[in-house]
Amino acid sequence: MHSKKMDLFETMTSQIENEFPQCSRMHADWEFVLTDKKTGEIKNNKKFRILAIQNDAEKYQHVGIIIPELSNEYVQLPDMVGKFLSEMQKTVEASVGHTLGDKKSIDVSAFKFTGNVYLYTDRLLVSEDVIQKHFKKSNMSLQSRVEKKNLVL
């Protein structure tokens, strides 16, 4: 099961590359640590990937979030987008194209965040409408890319 989640990150990263072929990408792999409220014991770690999707020519950027399953931790995502973008200001290299090891320096402070956040997930355990309204409070627009597997037609 664990390897399936890692494959999901690769699959959805490829999907982002296909959707935004003209853009460079920078990413970080983070995780939510879910703890028992009474005991403080760690119950689960939920890994996710956050990406900057940058149009180098037009100097704008979107953010992508890849998470296999999204539930109540969605409330933390707008703050995490802000944290990621501010931490990225310190980063000087970005992946360019599809070639591994092909790096160039980029001044990320020149990029304007569009407010668009692309959510790539297999399962939403919370209403998409609720999540979109939550992002809107932070002046962000959530664009869902939910894999709707096992739908009965």
**% pLDDT > 70, the chain:** 80
> Which structure tokens are listed for 39?
């005991």
Q: What is the pTM of this model?
A: 0.79
* pLDDT of 103: 52
* pLDDT of 134: 96
> Which structure tokens are listed for 135?
């992002």
* pLDDT of 89: 73
Q: What is the mean pLDDT of residues 90-106?
A: 50
* pLDDT of 98: 46
CA distance 11 to 124: 18
Band of pLDDT at residue 95, cut at 50, 70 and 90: very low
What's the CA angle centered on 118, arms 44 and 27, to 5 degrees?
A: 65
* pLDDT of 5: 53
Beta-strand ranges (E) seen in the chain are 24-35, 42-55, 60-70, 93-95, 103-105, 112-124, 141-146
Averaged pLDDT of the chain: 82
> Lowest-confidence range among 72-76, 101-105, 122-126, 142-146?
101-105
CA distance 103 to 85: 19
CA distance 153 to 149: 11
* pLDDT of 100: 47
CA distance 56 to 53: 9
Looking only at the bridges linking them, the beta strands covering 112-124 and 60-70 are parallel
- In this predicted model, which residue has the larger pLDDT, 5 or 64? 64
pLDDT in tens, 22-78: 999 988 999 888 777 788 887 778 899 999 999 989 999 999 999 998 998 999 999
